[in-house]
Amino acid sequence: MTRKVLLVDDDAAVRDALGQTLELAELEPIMASSFVMAKDHITEGFEGVILSDIRMPGRDGFHLLSYAQGIDRELPVILLTGEGDIPMAVRAMGQGAFDFLEKPCAAADLLPVLDRALKTRALVLENRRLKRQLERGDPAARMIFGISPQSNELRARVRSVAPTGAEVLVTGPPGSGISKVAEVIHLMSPRARGPFVKRPAAGLTPEALDGLCAQGAGGSIFLDEVSAMPQATQYAALEVLEQGSAARVIAGTTADLAGRVEEGLFHADLFYRLDVMRVRIPALSERREDIPVLFRHYVAQAAEQSGIPEPEVGPEHLAGLMGQDWPGNARSLMSAAMRFVLGMPEEVGRESGLGLAEQMAQVERSLLVAALGRQNGCATEAAKGLKLPRKTFYDKLARYGIRPGDYRR
Residue 348 predicted with pLDDT over 60: no
pLDDT tens-digit map of 55-86: 888 888 888 999 998 999 889 999 988 766 66
Q: What is the pLDDT, as a whole number, of residue 177?
A: 92
Q: What is the pLDDT, as a whole number, of residue 18?
A: 93
CA–CA gap between residue 142 and residue 152 (Å, rounded): 12
Instruction: Please give the average per-residue pLDDT across 6-11, as a whole number.
Output: 93
Instruction: Please give the average per-residue pLDDT across 188-216, as a whole number.
Output: 93
Residue 161 predicted with pLDDT over 60: yes
- Give the start-to-end residue ranges of the domains of the chain: 4-129, 140-282, 286-407
CA–CA gap between residue 310 and residue 302 (Å, rounded): 8
> What CATH number should be reported for the domain whose range is 4-129?
3.40.50.2300
Tell whether domain 286-407 is in CATH 1.10.8.60. yes
Residue 318 predicted with pLDDT over 90: no
Phi-psi region of 185 (alpha: psi -120 to 50; beta: other; left: phi over 0): alpha
Q: Say if pTM beats, i.e. exceeds, 0.85.
A: no
Q: What is the pLDDT, as a whole number, of residue 408?
A: 67
Decide if 4-129 and 140-282 have a common fold.
yes
pLDDT tens-digit map of 359-386: 567 667 767 876 787 777 888 888 888 8
Q: What is the pLDDT, as a whole number, of residue 344?
A: 65
> What CATH number should be reported for the domain whose range is 140-282?
3.40.50.300
Residue 281 predicted with pLDDT over 50: yes
Residue 228 predicted with pLDDT over 70: yes
